[in-house]
Amino acid sequence: MTFTRIIATLAALVGAALIGGVAGGVVATKGDDDTPAAAPATTVTVPTQGITASGGTSLAALYRRISPSVVEIQVRNTTGGGGTGTGWLYDDAGHIVTNEHVVENASDVTVKFADGTEADARVVGVDTSTDVAVLALSNPSSAPAPLQLGSTDALAVGDAVVAIGSPFGLEGTMTSGIVSAKDRTITAPDGFTIDGAVQTDAALNPGNSGGPLLDTRGRIVGVNAQIASENGGNNGVGYAIPVETVKSVADQLIEGGKVEHAYLGVRVADGNGGALVDSVSPGSPAAKAGLKAGDLVTRADGEAVHAADQLSGAVASHRPGEQLRLQVTRNGRTTTVTATLGERPSEAP
């Protein structure tokens, strides 16, 4: 059974559902199988003839080149349930990237390639704060070529993008759309925020989780993770974790099996010329540094802060134990505080 769960985004204040995999939550989709009974073995949705990608390459040709490196992930978990999601080849060592919520509590993981062959995989590591997981194939020598990484910096609103995945267990499905917005903020499975998400109208549904969002040169710009939905279905608002975040986390997981995130301990919103502190967690690094609700953070380590996500980015660029110097406006006066960052707790306060 594939599950989705409804969570709120800070940016749009709408429901965002994790799309596929074992996400154990409040909305259950489909019946007792991972794949609907009437589903064909492979369904490919491609744009109408004549639509081309960059350089004159058709999207059909792009699909033929990319799809062998995209896999369906089949999971059995420790509670006896299961689900499906999507992943893609990350490197020549046979590592596969997907969403954390796809392989949550996994006891057995099988990946299915575009040619129908299957292989066992193990979970190398997961990070609930970014919803990223890395798997390793048991026989990497037979794996297809890894996909090329792109950049969200090079994206503009209106640029064409495509998604490949296994919505509702229909492996090998391709959909297309545009970049609807950039720098969205979505909520991770542990309740913390993921900044810089790419919003797209390319159709995403349960089972697309962990699959690639690609530009028209076939470069990954994000990992599909959530949809804004009240019922778990596609409404044309999907979110992908930015490729820069995915690469940073995946490299750390491959190297050491875990990721350490710096923690300040504040909830912030966009303020007039800075990041407005809404609340401070008791005992947190922010509390110990003297930050208070109502403070307006205008600089972090000397760099201007104009919005809440810039402060989040400044914290994310540090490691636990490092210091973060903040310029704060309080009651019309400017002061500077220095916080020694802690390690992010397992769940957001």
Write down the residue that tokens 């090998």 correspond to.
172
- Residues 167 and 84: their CA atoms lie apart, in Å, by 9
- The amino acid sitting at 250 is A
DSSP state of 328: E
Is 69:144 a contact under the CB 8 Å cutoff?
Answer: yes
Q: Of 127, 131, 201, 295, which one is the catalytic site residue?
A: 131
Sequence-distant (≥ 6) Cβ neighbours of residue 268 within 8 angstroms: 275, 276, 277, 278, 297, 308, 311, 312
Distance from CA of residue 166 to its chain's centroid?
A: 16
Radius of gyration of the chain (CA): 20
> How do beta strands 160-165 and 106-112 pair?
unpaired
* Contact present, 187 and 193 (Cβ < 8 Å): yes
What's the token pair of residue 52? Answer: 């081309």
Q: Residue 254: enclosing H or E segment and its boundaries?
A: helix 243-256
Structure-token pair, residue 313:
């980015």
The tokens for 300 are 């972090």
State yes or no: is 209 an active-site residue.
yes
Spatial separation of the C-alpha atoms in residues 107 and 50, rounded to whole Å = 45
Q: Which two tokens stand for residue 103?
A: 């392989």
Helix (H, G, I), strand (E, B) or coil at 142: helix
Catalytic residue among 209, 229, 284, 312: 209
Write down the catalytic residue from 34, 95, 101, 318: 101
Query: Cα separation of 247 and 245, whole Å?
Result: 6
Residue 309 annotated as catalytic:
no
Cα–Cα dist 192/263, whole Å: 10
The Cα–Cα gap between 57 and 122 comes to 36
Answer yes or no: 306 catalytic: no
Site of tokens 């509390």: 287
C-beta neighbour count of 178 within 10 angstroms: 15
Which residue numbers are catalytic? 101, 131, 209
